[in-house]
Structures are given as structure tokens and as C-alpha cells.
Structure 1
Amino acid sequence: MKYLLLVCLASLVACTQTQEEKKTDKPNIVFIFSDDHAYQAIGAYGNKIAKTPNLDQLASEGMLFTNSFVTNSICGPSRATLLTGKYSHMNGYKRNDRTLFDTEQTLFSKVLQQNGYQTAWIGKMHLNSLPVGFDYWNILPGQGQYYNPDFISQPNDTTRYHGYVSDLITQFSTEWLEKRDTSKPFFLIVGHKATHRTWLPALEDLGAYDDVEFPLPDNFYDAYQDREAARQQDMSVEKTMRLKQDLKIHPDYEKDGVYNRFDPEQKKVFKDYYDKVAQDFEAKKLTGKALVEWKLQRYLKDYYATANGLDRNIGKLLDYLDKSGLAKNTVVIYASDQGFYLGEHGWFDKRFIYEESMRTPLMVRYPGIVEAGKKQDDLVLNIDWAPTVLDIAGAPIPADIQGQSFLPLLKGTPSTQVPWRKAAYYHYYEFPQPHHVYPHFGIRTDRYKLAYFYDGPDAWELFDLQKDPHEMSNLYGKPGTESITEDLKGQLKKLMEAYKDEEALKILAAAKK
């Protein structure tokens, strides 16, 4: 009897230990989420100028996604999609406006909590709502500021901190990791403000690219032939980019809220640098194309210098994970909320279905699961982020999530065995402010892209990405494209139906043929 009792007790202890091991063996997950960071501005994506050693290392240690796309290329809606795994028309957050994000709906952060994860969001959130589904949060109000920014923490306290925003976000992230409940696996979103307009580099990065002459994009002087929506936009380097606010040519350091946060030492260093930029600009007396190209160069120098601080802080966080021993059981995901134009089509900003804004960087390091240095060419969307995180965590994926976990792709399973999507659906809404980009929807396959712009131009665009990767030649209506156009329209309608975009279906039914 005593022997039997001892056996039972031993079995109970072993069972308890196994359950504890299973709980603690769940991988930790860090999701680093930047703002407006263009994939083409990262060394791992082929850029030879950008100084992104830490992102390049992350990509070399994990998987680099070459065809990662967003479903609505704009900041707030992309964050809403991250949290919900749903398209904008389903999660209710279509535009960057004063809409309050509905935190009562299914959020993957809540599911993680329910499945034993400790959760935190630190940095930029930008959804007009406070975080829900997070045990800890410390977020920027709205867009936030680069220098001496305010942060909102529980329960709803706003505190101003001295320093540069990227540094502070990393500091707060590592402090939370130090103080977390170590009996639970954790999920942490690190929401960076960089590289959002207006671009204010850290003091140590001022002038980091002053000796660089950036190559002019091949389509910088795009005439927008047969693309009326592109012609009517208001996001060009030539006409929209502002000398004073964007490029810091004699900004108002006393009245402008961006600069009156500076302490005297910060202001002196910053002002001394940009005063020299202004003096050089005035001495040149530029006009015409020379002026436009100077604006592009100045924009890119500031953009890339701001990205330097972002990459450096990603490196600090990765170093912390290494030194703390967390790296071996922590999945690190890096993505941006969308892509960005770095002079392509003569633009900055995002919004359009064209490649530079629809495509976003995505890399995943998953020790023991993802083979280092792998590239993944299948089409993934930001609706897939939430279900993938849940899948990694061993948590159930709610039925209303519209995305699909790409964990099988991370594990090396061919997409032919999953199976995986062959086309990506996109729908953008915000119009007319601030950049006069007409609302549109469309479909992208591995070779073609078909888009319809409504509420103004009412025009179709068709591109053969294989022959025309810069999307300059609209083939819609051209002889010989009838079959592919009909096929793409059929696929587009099926995706609208599958994703329950009723508004788009009505517009499609009434669209010009």
C-alpha cells in the first residue's frame, strides 16, 4: 500500500513538473514595430548605403520575407490590423482620424493573456485608445515627439522624459523585461516612432549621411501617364515637402512645438547643425530641377540618419536578450506599419497600392525553428501577424481572425503543402486629406497588380510587375490584356467576398469596365 502511495505521489510530482516545464518552455515573443521604415532602406533588402547592421544581423539569423504586404498602407489602420488580424473594414479602423479603436473586439493580446502570457506595449500605439490586453503599457500620446517626449502609463498618467524617443523606448522595454514576472512567458510590442515625418535624427546621428549622394530613383520624374490618381496626389518631394518644417531650413525654434521641448544643450547642437545646412542652401540659390533634387537629398539624409537611431536601439535590445540569456527562447519579429517612398514616383509618404508603400519589411528570428539566413518569397499580409504570434504561443486562433498563421513557412514547410495564398487583397480609404490619395482597392499576385481608384478618377490600373517592376506602364484596356484582366477581376471579387468587404463589392459592381 505504501509502495503504491509512493508511486502515485511520484507520478503526481512528475506530472506537475511536466506541466510546469511546458508552461515555461513556451517561447517569449518580442515584436519590434517601426513607423514608415521602407524595406528598400535596409541593407538586408539590398541597400548598399543604409547603416542597418543590427537589422541585417537579425535577418541573417532568421528568415527574411521578400513579399510581405500591408492591407491598408497607413499608420493607425495597420496597428489595428496587427491587434485584430482583420481588415480595416472588419476592425472598424479605416483611416487616421479621431476614430476610437474598438478594444471590445477580439484582440490577440487578450488571447495571449488568457493563455498564460504576460504582455506589454511600450512606445508608439497611435489608435486614440489606451491599450487593452496588456498587463503593462507605457505609450506615446498620438504620434509622440522625438525629443523629450511624453509617455502615458497606467492608469492614465502622462510623464515627460528627457532624452531621445528611440533611446527611451529601448530603456523602458529593457526595464520592463527586468521586472517582469519570470514565471510566465512574455509578449512585448516595442513600438518605435522612427522613421515618421518629420524626421529628427538623434544628436549623435546628425550629418551621418552628409557625404553621401543618394542615387536618383529611375522614376523620380514620373509623368504619371495613364494614372490619373497618381497625377493628382499631394505627396511629392517637389510640391508637398516643406523647406521649413520638413527640411529644417530656419524653423521656428521658439514657437514650434517640435522644438520648444529641447533643453538648451540639445537645441544648440541641433540648431548649429541645421543653421549650416540653411547657409549652404541659401548660398546655392537653387531653382527648378536643382532645387527639387536638393530637397530629395536633404530628405534622404534626415530619413536615413533617423533610421540609424532606430537600428542602433534594435541592437541594444538584441544585446540585452543575448546577455540576459533570453535570446535562446525568444522569437524576435521586426516589421514596419507599412512601406514608404524614398523618391520613387517623385514621392515621400505611403498610401498607394504601389510596391514601395504596400510592401513592408518583415524578418523573424526563431532559435531552433527558423533556419538562419533563409528567405521567404510567398505572399504574407499584416492580417497574418496576429494568428502567427498566437500559433507560436500555442494559443487558439479565434474564428473571426482573417489572417493565416505563417508558422508552417517559418518551419520550412513548402507553401504548396500548407496551402498558401496566391494573391493579396488591398483596400485604402483616407481621402482627401492629408495627401489627396483617392480611395482604391486592388489585388496583387506574384506577377500582376490590378487596382481600381474610386470617388474621383474612377479608373483601373494594371501592371505587369515582371516586366514593369516600377509600375510606370498602365496596361489596363491595352490589346492582349483582356484575358488576364478578366481573371484578375474574378480573383478580386472572390477575395472581397472571402474577406466580407461589402462596401467594395458594391463599388466593384458599379465600377467602369
Structure 2
Amino acid sequence: MVKSIALRRVFVGIGILLSVVVNSQEKELPPPNIVWLVSEDNSMHYLKMFNDNGVATPNIEGLAEQGLTYTRAFSNAAVCSSARSTLISGTYGPRLASHYHRKLQKVPMPTDLEMFPAYLRKAGYYTTNNNKEDYNFKKKENVWDESSNKASYKNRKKGQPFFHVYNTGITHEGKLHFKKGIVKNKKTQTSLESFTVQPNHPDTELFKYTNAYYRDKIVQMDTQMGTIIQQLKDDGLYDNTIIFYYGDHGGVLPGSKGYLYETGLHVPLVVHIPEMYKHLAPHKLGGKVGGFVSFVDFGATVLSLAGVEIPENMDGEPFLGMNVSEKEVNSRDETFSYADRFDEKYDMVRALRKGKYKYIRNYQPFNFDGLLNQYRYKQLAFQEWADLYAKGELNEVQASFYESRSPEMLFDVENDPYETNNLAKNPEYKSILQKMRKGLNAYEMSMPDLSFYPEHYLIKNAFQNPELFGQKHKKDILKYIKIADLSLGSFENSKKKLEKALNSNDPWERYWALIVCSTFGKQAKKFNQIIKDIANNDSERINKIRALEFIGLTGAQNPLEEMASILVESESVAESLLITNTMVLMTDGPNKYRATMNFDQVSEEIKTAVPLVNRFEYLTRISK
């Protein structure tokens, strides 16, 4: 849940008092320079300083010698724009609808909150970003003094403190879009025998090569980070600059980026803290920190280091600064994460990690993980994974990526780091499952989580002020959460409430009841007639689609032609994306439906929208 603002204010007040009395010399220190070194698409699993299965990164390791290594650092989202929107705002994405990737329309920041570098600028800092933004918020001019591939702290006034972000794309997923010939014709620097392929992946020549190639990119990234670090030294700034290194979310080996597994969320984080600012670190330098920190905390932490007041509407908590205690940071043991639309692929998933346990809530578990996303499948390893599944050549763990999931998953990630053994149905873990479920619901309810409305409805009705919309509709959202959670019990215990929701005058109660029916599958066949009536007569196109989705998943009939006819009526890109997501589920799911589909009648705006072009091309090709 969103933590107590009042309690944080007490800590801040104590910290300010302590900063006055601790050491008279410290009062004379200038505010520290702060630098973020950011690598794209890296989870901690592939860096040796965090995981024995990784490669050495001597420049990043060097930062840790006079700094802190955070062994439990997490992105709150597993894909770029969603993760960076959390970083820049210090807020949870589902509270502000800033978590859809790629954005179809940007949302405003709350009226009482700025992107955090704006507060640094007001306090006299020079703020520079080189060079990636990728936020899902409307652009504001008060955030950066410079933001481009030429942005540099060197342009500040003499003696002016700075906050500088340096981003490298060397390890970005696009770097793994190599051609087939390279696997045989080009050797990697990383030996194919120096690591093991993770257990949910097929242990093939291609997967081994992709692993090694990716590790080579991490080594190159470390070298580039070393160049920036050396530049700070050459400029005489290393000893008065606090330097963060982190990955902007998880890695890009198949099933990582975009997914709420540890490989998509658990990032490397090292913070170098010069001797003159060691009083801002609650821990002994050179050591490791096991307390949980998340991207939602990073903005608050930078403000804390700079001595700038943290806005009340930020969700994050600082983990460095005068107002932070070692005991409190070490006691942090949970992180909340979220995934929704990822390019053209929809799949609403939420997760809570607490201690060694990870709870994942799949709200639409029939949307199997491997559902087509065109950009992901440019990677040869992704293609091979799908081909091997189609041939029946994967073991049960490897094949699960292409099969429906349980609505709830529970993992012991210390003993099962790649989340292969779902404990949710194991009676020995019943009490833990219930605690984790309750904990995740507390986050969703406290925001509240806006994704209990479909994205196209939010764009039309909430995007002028998402936070206000959420507060006005909090009671409704709590109703939808309760309906969605009917899938967690038995059908027998849920059927009366489901029937009531299917017949509700509220279209979004019907929406979630239909999703729950699809989760139960053939167990919900007693509602066949009600659902057929919804498919024919509902006032919301998306409910007609959800009804046809149930009909298709249960094998009653091929729904593709009816879905295509409803798609033609749509005037919304987001709604059309959700419709085509279900159509791809019908073609690629267990029933492998086929139909001749012609999208000529779809409006030109819908037909040419970038996220939809991939869906139309695929559906047209597969229908032939």
C-alpha cells in the first residue's frame, strides 16, 4: 500500500534537526553532485557482482568499493516507458495511468506534483539528461536545463551543483535482433561454457549463443560506464559526486522484459558515495544492503541527498540521506509491480514480493505469456522457443510460457529464482498465499488501481486528471476488484455473485464477470445463454468481445468473424488494440481458430495506427 506520508514527515523533521547538530563541519559542505548511470534492459542476473551466472563488470564493481551495493533493488514495471514514468514521478503507475507502454496518449502529472528534477532546479541544481526520457506524462519545460544527446553538466555555472543522467542503449533488446548467420559465423567473447541457461529456457545452441552475446553487450556497457566515470575523475568531480548505476528494468532474454518475473524486475543497483558525503549513507560504505528499494523511491532519494523537501504526493521513500536510518532501510522487505499493455499486447498482471516470496496475480490468465508481440519476436531465441513448443519438444517448465496460467502464482524466489514451481495450490503455503493476496489488494485499493477500467475508457474519461478520476470512482474500482477476485475461489461459491454481475447495469461489472467466466472456462457453461445475449446486445463493444472470448475459449464456436465485424465499428485505437489482442488469442491459443479476415472496412485512423499495424499484418497473414 502507499506508505504513511505523516510518518515520513516525522522522519524528515528528525533528519533536518540531526543535520544541524551532528557535525558543524558538515553544515559547510556544498550540496553533492548526483549522477545516474543507466543501462537499458539489464536485470541483476547477468552481472557477476550480483549473480554467479553473470559476467564481470569491473567499472561498476569499482563504484561499489566506496559505495553501497543494493542486492534487493527493483523496477516497479518491467518495460521502459512504464519504468521511467515511475522513476521521474516517484509515483505508482496504476494510480495515474502512466504505466501503459507504448503510450497512446500522455497523462498529466498531478496538480500538486512535479517531475522530481524540477524541485532540484528550484533548489539551484543544474539538471541534464543524456539522453532518454520516454515518459508517459505530458512534457513539461521545467524539468531539465538540457535534455539531448549533447546534454552535459559542463554547461552549468561555476560552482553550481548538478544532477546528470547518462543513459546507454548498448544492452537494449534491439541489439539481440541479429540474423541467423551470425550464430555460426561470429564467436562471442563470453564462452558458451561459462554460464548455465536458465531452467525455463530450452538449452539449445541458439539460446546459449544469445546468452553469451547478451553478456558481451553487458561487458561493452561496463566499458562505456567506465569512460563516464573517468571523465568525472578527469574533471575533478569524482570526490564530490554521488553516482548511481542501475538497469532501467529487467533483461531481454525471452520472458524477461515485459514480464513480472524476477528477470524482468530485479535490477542491479550500486551507489558510489564519496568520503565527504558518507554521513548521507545510513550504512557502512563498501558493503551490501539487503533492504528492498524500488524505482518509486529513487526520486525521493535524490531529493533527500540534495537536502530538498520531498513532496507529499510522492509515493516513494528515500533510502539515502540524513533522514534515513540503517535499521529502517534494512527492515524494508516488499516491492509492488505492475504490467498492462506492452506495445500491442495486453495482459493485466500485478505482483508483490515480500521477503523471499513472490506473489503474481494474473487477472486474465488465459492470455498466456508467449502471446504474440511483434517486436519481441524479432529475437531469434523467442522464435525458436515458440517453434519448439509447437513441435512438442519442451519440458513442462519450458512449455508453460505458451500455456494458460493460474490466476495466482506464489514462488519462493530464494530457492526458485526463475519462478518455475508455483506454490499457490500447495496447502502448506495457504496462509502465506492469503497474506500475499491481501497485501497486493491493499496496494491496488489504496491507489486505487485505474486499470480495472479498460484503457480506451480511461483515455476518454480519465486522462484529463487520472488521480481525481480514481478518487471519484474508488468505490466502483473496489467493486471491480471484488468481482475479479471471484476467480480465486471455486465456481460453485462464485456463481451467484457472477450471475448478478453479468446482469448488472454497470458495464464494467459485466466486463469483469465475463473475464472471470473465461478464467473458469467450461465450468461457467451454465451462463452460456446470458453470455451469448451479451455478445449480441451489450452496449459496450468490448463486452461483446469479452463474451465472444468466453465462447471461443470454451470451444463452443469460432468467434473470429464476429469479432472482426465488431472491430470495424470501433473508432478508438486503444479499443481496437484490445479487440485484436483477443483475436490473436483465438488464433494462437489452444483452439487455433482460423477465418478469412479482411480489414479494408476498418477506418483509416485505426488501420494505420502504429501499434495496430503489426496486429493487422499478422491476422491477415495467418488467415490465409
SS across alignment from 2:359: strand
Distance 2:156 2:82 in 1: 29
- Contact 2:97–2:451 (8 Å) recurs in 1: no
* Pair 1:115–1:35, CA change in 2 (3 A): same
The offset of 1:70, in angstroms, is 1.6
Distance 1:213 1:495 in 2: 43
Q: Which 10-residue stretch deviates more, 97-106 or 326-335? A: 97-106
Distance 1:453 1:104 in 2: 28
Aligned to 1:311: 222
Distance 2:482 2:413 in 1: 26
* Pair 1:449–1:508, CA change in 2 (3 A): farther
SS across alignment from 2:225: helix
Whichever residue aligns with residue 454 of structure 1, its letter is Y
SS across alignment from 1:188: strand
Aligned to 1:509: 482
Distance 1:131 1:396 in 2: 20
Aligned to 1:231: none
- Contact 1:62–1:365 (8 Å) recurs in 2: yes
* Pair 1:210–1:445, CA change in 2 (3 A): closer
1:21-51 deviation per Cα after TM superposition (whole angstroms, max 9, x unaligned)? 9797000100112210121221321346524
Of 367, 372, 375 in structure 1, the residue corresponding to residue 285 of structure 2 is: 372
Whichever residue aligns with residue 128 of structure 2, its letter is A
The offset of 1:493, in angstroms, is 2.2
Of 157, 180, 194 in structure 2, the residue corresponding to residue 181 of structure 1 is: 157
The offset of 1:306, in angstroms, is 2.3
The offset of 1:419, in angstroms, is 8.4
Aligned to 1:362: 269
* Pair 1:75–1:49, CA change in 2 (3 A): closer
Of 132, 136, 154 in structure 2, the residue corresponding to residue 124 of structure 1 is: 132
The offset of 1:507, in angstroms, is 4.9
The offset of 1:214, in angstroms, is 4.5
- Contact 2:243–2:271 (8 Å) recurs in 1: yes
SS across alignment from 2:172: coil
Distance 2:351 2:144 in 1: 38
Distance 1:126 1:44 in 2: 29
Segments of structure 1 that go 5 or more residues without pairing to the other structure are 1-20, 140-150, 152-171, 222-288
Segments of structure 2 that go 5 or more residues without pairing to the other structure are 1-25, 178-185, 367-405, 453-477, 489-624
Q: Alignment identity in percent?
A: 24
Whichever residue aligns with residue 213 of structure 1, its letter is E
- Contact 1:72–1:428 (8 Å) recurs in 2: yes
1:309-352 deviation per Cα after TM superposition (whole angstroms, max 9, x unaligned)? 3211211111121222211111101111111254xxxx354122
Pairing 1:351–2:258 present: yes
Whichever residue aligns with residue 459 of structure 1, its letter is P
The offset of 1:478, in angstroms, is 2.1
Whichever residue aligns with residue 215 of structure 1, its letter is F
1:92-150 deviation per Cα after TM superposition (whole angstroms, max 9, x unaligned)? 321222335446542101111111111011122223765643443343xxxxxxxxxxx
SS across alignment from 2:428: coil
Aligned to 2:534: none
Distance 1:295 1:348 in 2: 15
Greater relative CO, 1 or 2 (CA 8 Å, sep 6+): 1
User: Which has more helix, going by share of residues?
Assistant: 2
* Pair 1:409–1:209, CA change in 2 (3 A): farther
Distance 2:109 2:432 in 1: 42
* Pair 1:30–1:358, CA change in 2 (3 A): same
SS across alignment from 2:163: strand
SS across alignment from 1:361: strand
SS across alignment from 2:49: helix
Aligned to 2:383: none
Pairing 1:333–2:244 present: yes
The offset of 1:376, in angstroms, is 0.6
1:441-493 deviation per Cα after TM superposition (whole angstroms, max 9, x unaligned)? 12111121222101343611111234433321111122222222222222222
Pairing 1:26–2:37 present: no
- Contact 1:81–1:91 (8 Å) recurs in 2: no
Whichever residue aligns with residue 266 of structure 2, its letter is R
Distance 2:331 2:106 in 1: 30
State the TM-score, normalizing by the size of structure 2.
0.56
1:54-109 deviation per Cα after TM superposition (whole angstroms, max 9, x unaligned)? 01111232111111112121110111111100011234321222335446542101
Alignment of 1:143-154 (within 5 A): none
Aligned to 1:115: 123
Alignment of 1:44-123 (within 5 A): 44-47=49-52, 50-102=55-107, 104-105=109-110, 106-123=114-131
Whichever residue aligns with residue 483 of structure 1, its letter is S
SS across alignment from 1:481: helix
Distance 1:409 1:115 in 2: 17
The offset of 1:208, in angstroms, is 5.1
Whichever residue aligns with residue 88 of structure 2, its letter is L
- Contact 2:247–2:267 (8 Å) recurs in 1: yes
Of 171, 186, 192 in structure 1, the residue corresponding to residue 168 of structure 2 is: 192
SS across alignment from 2:88: helix
Pairing 1:485–2:433 present: yes
Alignment of 1:356-505 (within 5 A): 356-368=263-275, 369=278, 370=281, 371-407=284-320, 413-415=326-328, 420-430=331-341, 438-457=347-366, 459-501=407-449, 503=451, 505=478
* Pair 1:319–1:501, CA change in 2 (3 A): same
Whichever residue aligns with residue 317 of structure 1, its letter is I
The offset of 1:185, in angstroms, is 0.7
Q: Which 10-residue stretch deviates more, 473-482 or 355-364? A: 473-482
- Contact 2:118–2:144 (8 Å) recurs in 1: no
* Pair 1:301–1:483, CA change in 2 (3 A): closer
Aligned to 1:156: none
- Contact 1:30–1:330 (8 Å) recurs in 2: yes
Whichever residue aligns with residue 425 of structure 2, its letter is G
State the TM-score, normalizing by the size of structure 1.
0.67
Distance 1:406 1:214 in 2: 35
- Contact 1:85–1:386 (8 Å) recurs in 2: yes
Distance 1:123 1:190 in 2: 7
Distance 1:38 1:185 in 2: 31
Aligned to 2:145: 136
Pairing 1:294–2:205 present: yes
1:152-178 deviation per Cα after TM superposition (whole angstroms, max 9, x unaligned)? xxxxxxxxxxxxxxxxxxxx46xx233
* Pair 1:397–1:66, CA change in 2 (3 A): same
Distance 1:48 1:306 in 2: 15
The offset of 1:357, in angstroms, is 1.0
